[in-house]
Structure 1
Amino acid sequence: MSETTETVPGRAVGPAASLELWFRVLRLYTDYTELLDEKRLTEWLGLFEDDCRYTAISRENADAGLPLAMMRCEGVPGLADRVNAIENVSVYAPRTMRHLFSGLRAHHTAEPDLLSVEGSFIVAQSLSEEHTEVYASGRYRDLVRDDGATLRFAEKTAVYDGALVKNAMVYPL
């Protein structure tokens, strides 16, 4: 990726991240998907800033500027509450999730330590004794903080393409 300004449809962005920084961002997304897929949710919390925001919202609502989201968590305490619900409270059929992502773009923003990151995702779901199916697809529209040593999500937004997701949304996208 070059240091020049690139155009991302629908978003004003600054210069593209260097190749070295892009690889660090790629590692963050690889860790994100692996920790979710392997249900290592306590470790997954470590990928977020303390005052982060996580949102899973339909494309229809996102495009219309409507705030209604399938999942919204404020800060790591909100995410930790969701993790506790998944691990200790919620009742749901056992499932395996597999997150795939591609088209990763990382750009600098007006804040020197903040990156605007986008990429496409597909999440497949396998329920016991059923065929694997596409659970959701869409785009990540994120803000990632770089403290020089560690990258963390300041804002994680999963905009899924359909108006609904099949069954209940147990795990984050």
Structure 2
Amino acid sequence: MNAENYLKLVQFYQDYAAAVDQEDWDAWLNMFTDDAKYKVQSRENYDRDLPMAVLNMYSKNMLKDRVYGMTETIFHEPYHQCHVVASPRVISASGGEIEAQANYSVFRTKTDGIAEVYNVGRYIDRIQVTDQGFKLASRLCVFDNEMVLNSMIYPI
């Protein structure tokens, strides 16, 4: 992967974080292929090859359904997220597909103003290079802690 494409990949990761943090769900959805897989799983289950996951969606339509649920039907105490995403590490890049990983930290701030570390882990991604730019074909969020504080409403 050349330097120009690597910079585009870094920008893609930062755009993803901004879309989620700013609750720009249209932009977030547009970052996925139609048959994308999105999974949030504990490291313990990932390492032991166990299927249990906090979220497990396997199409863009399921992601759209999640957005509808988050914005229209799920009642929860309001909070904001702030993602800090490390520079991605390219595992492989060939034939219009990139395999990459990046560490992330998500901070959550509730309306009472107290910020807390909410979720820490790594993204394990398969990214398609399309005419419209990079698209996530698969995003696996493997989080380090064994449990999630309260419930997970927004994507990681």
Class of the TM-score when normalised by the shorter of the 2 chains: over 0.9
Query: Is the aligned partner of 1:164 residue 2:140?
Result: no
Residue aligning to 2:136: 153
**Residue from 48, 52, 61 that aligns with 2:36:** 52
Residue aligning to 2:59: 75
Aligned residue for 1:162, secondary structure, equals: coil
What amino acid maps onto 2:22 in structure 1? E
Counterpart-to-counterpart distance in 2, 1:32 and 1:165: 21
Instruction: Indicate conservation of the 8 Å contact 1:142/1:156, yes or no.
Output: yes
What amino acid maps onto 1:165 in structure 2? V
Counterpart-to-counterpart distance in 2, 1:161 and 1:63: 11
Q: Deviations over 1:5-32 (max 9, x none)?
A: xxxxxxxxxxxx2211111111111110
Query: Which TM-score applies when normalising by structure 1?
Result: 0.87
Instruction: Indicate conservation of the 8 Å contact 1:25/1:106, yes or no.
Output: no
Counterpart-to-counterpart distance in 2, 1:29 and 1:159: 16
Aligned residue for 1:33, secondary structure, equals: helix
- Give the percent of matched residue pairs that are identical in Structure 1 and Structure 2: 27
Query: Which TM-score applies when normalising by structure 2?
Result: 0.96
Residue aligning to 1:126: 109
CA RMSD of aligned residues (A): 1.2
Aligned residue for 1:24, secondary structure, equals: helix
Counterpart-to-counterpart distance in 2, 1:49 and 1:172: 16
Larger radius of gyration: 1
Write the mapping of 1:9-158 to structure 2, written as runs, cut at 5 A. 17-109=1-93, 112-147=95-130, 149-158=132-141
Aligned residue for 2:152, secondary structure, equals: coil
Q: Deviations over 1:30-65 (max 9, x none)?
A: 110001000011221000000000000000000000
Counterpart-to-counterpart distance in 2, 1:164 and 1:22: 33
Judge which range, 85-94 or 148-157, deviates more. 148-157
Indicate the structure with greater strand content: 2
Counterpart-to-counterpart distance in 1, 2:27 and 2:132: 18
Q: 1:148, CA displacement in angstroms?
A: 5.0
Instruction: Indicate conservation of the 8 Å contact 2:85/2:103, yes or no.
Output: yes
Instruction: Indicate conservation of the 8 Å contact 2:10/2:87, yes or no.
Output: no
